[in-house]
Amino acid sequence: MEVLQLCRSALISLADMVLAPTVVGLFKWRQFEPEMILLAVGWYLRFSLSYRDVEELLAERGLLVDHVTVWRWVQRYALETQHRLRPRLRPTNASWRVDETYIRVKGKWVYLYRAVDSSGATIDFLLSAKRDAAAAERFLAKALGGENHPAPRVINIDEHAGYPPAIERLKAEDALEENCRHRPVQYLNNVLEQDHRAIKRRVRASQHFRTFWGAWRTIAGYEAIHMIRKGQACWSAAGAKVGLLHRFILDLFAATS
């Protein structure tokens, strides 16, 4: 019911939202208007929907779009949304919680590394085929390279044996400050365990993924929408409804890259 109500209301005043000329090329040769494409992508990333569910919602508005086309839109614009969101993210704090969860891709388990700060704000994420010290180091290096958060003063980890050697190597390479502490306190990661649920709920609705890079692009979109809804982006409100969420996504694409 909630989705149907949003389906009827989310296109209000779209005429007021004009995409920048530099962005129009991203939608070249697409049969539908960019605003409609981004609406469908936003629905899929925000709610626990399948591609066929989005196809039905669009049909409610008289738009005949095949679910495979919706999949192509998500593959093209989910990662783009995440890239455009990054410069708008508010700074996180210096107390990190790091953990990984499992995602099924083509019948095999892969590992989604994720980090949040002590308030639950997302810091970064990485999808990896392996769960080892090299993957842990790669993830931490990626997170440390972000511009929207300060260097950590403490990194709280789970019992994954790959983190301590990864942290030591990063310190030896001066990528991580020497006085940064790492601690394996399990209960402090509860905030991250709770945060995993929002992503895993959408993964289950997707009926799992067929390719690793398809999973990576889709999960990047899940994470972007999740950050917007947590109020991490400048000019976004925590728990934003879909009408406002859609306007925010349009604004990301209206900004000159």
For domain 95-198, the CATH architecture is: 2-Layer Sandwich (3.30)
What would the pLDDT profile of 189-244 be if each residue is shown by its tens digit? 899 999 999 999 998 888 779 999 999 999 999 999 999 999 898 766 555 555 67
- Helices then strands, counting H and E runs in the chain, come out as 10, 5
CA distance 7 to 59: 10
**Quick one: pLDDT band at residue 47, thresholds 50, 70, 90?**
very high
User: Do 229 and 245 meet the contact criterion of CB atoms below 8 Å apart?
Assistant: yes
List pLDDT tens digits, range 81-94: 999 999 899 999 99
Q: Is the dihedral of CA 155, 158, 164, 165 positive or negative?
A: negative
- Going from N- to C-terminal start, the domains of the chain cover 2-88+233-254, 95-198
pTM over 0.85: yes
